[in-house]
Homo-oligomer: A and B are copies of this chain.
Amino acid sequence: MTIPPRRPMTLRDVSEASGVSEMTVSRVLRNKGDVSAATRAKVQEAAKLLGYVPNRIAGSLASSHVNLIAVIIPSLKNMVFPEVLSGISDALDDTELQPVFGVTGYRPEKEEKVLFEMLSWRPAGVIIAGLEHSHASRAMLAQAGVPVVEVMDTDGDPIDACVGISHRRAGREMAKAIIDAGYRRIGFLGTQMPLDHRARKRFEGFTRTMAKAGIEIEGQEFYAGGSALLKGREMTKMILDRHPNLDFLYYSNDMIGAGGLLYLMEQGIDVPGEIGMAGFNGVELLDGLPRKLATMDACRREIGEAAANIIKARIAGTSAGRERINMTPRLDLGQTLIRNGALNTGFKDT
Bitwise, A267-307 to B at CB < 8 A (1) or not (0) is 00000000000000000111111100000000000000000
A255 to chain B, nearest CB (A): 7
What sequence of 0s and 1s flags, for each residue 51-91 of chain A, a beta carbon within 8 Å of any chain B beta carbon?
A: 10111111111001010100000011101011101100100
User: Nearest CB to that of A75 among chain B residues?
Assistant: B86
CB distance from A118 to the nearest CB of B (A): 7
Q: How many residues of A contact B (CB 8 A)?
A: 65
Cα(A116)–Cα(B88), bound, Å: 20
Copies in the complex: 2
**How far apart are the CA atoms of A57 and B122 in the complex, in Å?**
8
For A20, the chain B residues whose CB sits under 8 A away are none
CA distance A85 to B102 in the complex (A): 11
Whether A228 contacts B285 by the Cβ 8 Å rule is yes
Is B76 a contact of A79 with CB atoms below 8 Å? no
CB-defined contacts of A122 to chain B, threshold 8 Å: 8, 55-57
Task: Please tell me which one of the listed residues B53, B85, B139, B290 contacts residue A266 in the complex, with CB atoms under 8 A apart.
Answer: B290
Is the CB of A98 closer than 8 A to any CB of chain B?
yes
Contact at A98–B102, with CB atoms within 8 Å?
yes
Most B C-beta atoms less than 10 A away, residue of A103, A143, A286, A288: A288
Are B60 and A57 within 8 A (Cβ)?
yes
Q: Output the nearest chain B residue to A70 by Cβ-Cβ distance.
A: B98
**What residues of B have a CB within 8 angstroms of the CB of A57 in the complex?**
57, 60-61, 66, 121-122
Q: Given contacts A227-B285, A288-B229, are A53 and B8 in contact (CB under 8 A)?
A: no
> Is B118 a contact partner of A98 (Cβ separation < 8 A)?
yes
Distance, CA A102 to CA B255, complexed state (A): 28
Report B-chain residues with C-beta under 8 Å of the C-beta of A117: 96, 98
| Known interface pairs A76-B82, A98-B102, A102-B98; A139-B51 also in contact (CB < 8 Å) | yes
A315 contact set on B, CB distance < 8 A: none
Residue A230 CB within 8 A of the other chain: yes
Given the known inter-chain contacts A284-B226, A290-B262, please indicate yes or no for A103 contacting B118, CB distance below 8 A: no
4 more CB-based (< 8 A) A-B contacts, given A233-B288, A259-B288:
A53-B140, A53-B143, A61-B61, A227-B287
User: Taking beta carbons and an 8 Å cutoff, which residues of A are in contact with B?
Assistant: 6, 8, 51, 53-61, 64, 66, 68, 75-77, 79, 81-83, 85-86, 89, 93, 96, 98-103, 116-122, 139-140, 143-145, 226-233, 255, 258-259, 262, 266, 284-290
A-B contact list, 9 entries, CB within 8 Å? A56-B121, A56-B122, A57-B122, A76-B85, A89-B101, A96-B117, A98-B100, A101-B101, A230-B287
